[in-house]
Amino acid sequence: MTRRVTALSAIALLISSSAAYGVSLSSSGYGLRVSVPVLCTLRHQAAVTPVANGYQLGELLEYCNAPGGYSVQVTYAPGSMRGAVVMVGDEQVTLDGSGGTIVSRAPGPRIRDRAIIARPGPAGFDTDRLNFDIVAN
């Protein structure tokens, strides 16, 4: 019986000393905040080759880390390219001669390579320049 009381007393002493030790400890830490800038880049790898009813104009290499996504736009000389079709990957748009339009939208960050194909409108290719741009949403 004496041993049992002694063992219980030792356990009680350890518990009370560890509780007192835990109360006297303090903790500290560091708050870390990281800001990642939004970066969107678009590169064109030119390689003009004829395809059915048009021309492959190479590839667009897209990178954008914008959480809200981004859009790829095409601009050209106003009044030209009316009825021409521009395809970027699986997405396509028929140009109306306004001088610019959105070709595609991505709902979030993306890294991708997509082929560009252009089919002439009734007036053919009546401009020598299509400019592609990427814009974060």
Q: Dihedrals φ, ψ of 61, to 5°?
A: -105, 110
Asked if 59 contacts 47 with a C-beta cutoff of 8 angstroms, the reply is yes
- Assign 123 a pLDDT band (cuts: 50, 70, 90): confident
Positive/negative CA dihedral, 87, 92, 98, 101: negative
pLDDT tens column, 16-32: 544 445 555 677 888 99
| CATH domain 40-136 topology | Immunoglobulin-like (2.60.40)
- State mean pLDDT over 98-120: 96
Query: Is the pTM above the cut of 0.85?
Result: no
Strand blocks (E) in the chain: 40-45, 49-51, 54-64, 70-75, 85-88, 91-94, 100-106, 110-119, 131-136
Check whether 5 has a pLDDT greater than 50.
no
State the pLDDT at residue 24: 58
pLDDT tens column, 31-79: 999 998 999 999 999 999 999 889 999 999 999 999 999 999 999 999 9
State the pLDDT at residue 27: 78
Question: What is the residue extent of each domain of the chain?
Answer: 40-136
State the pLDDT at residue 4: 44
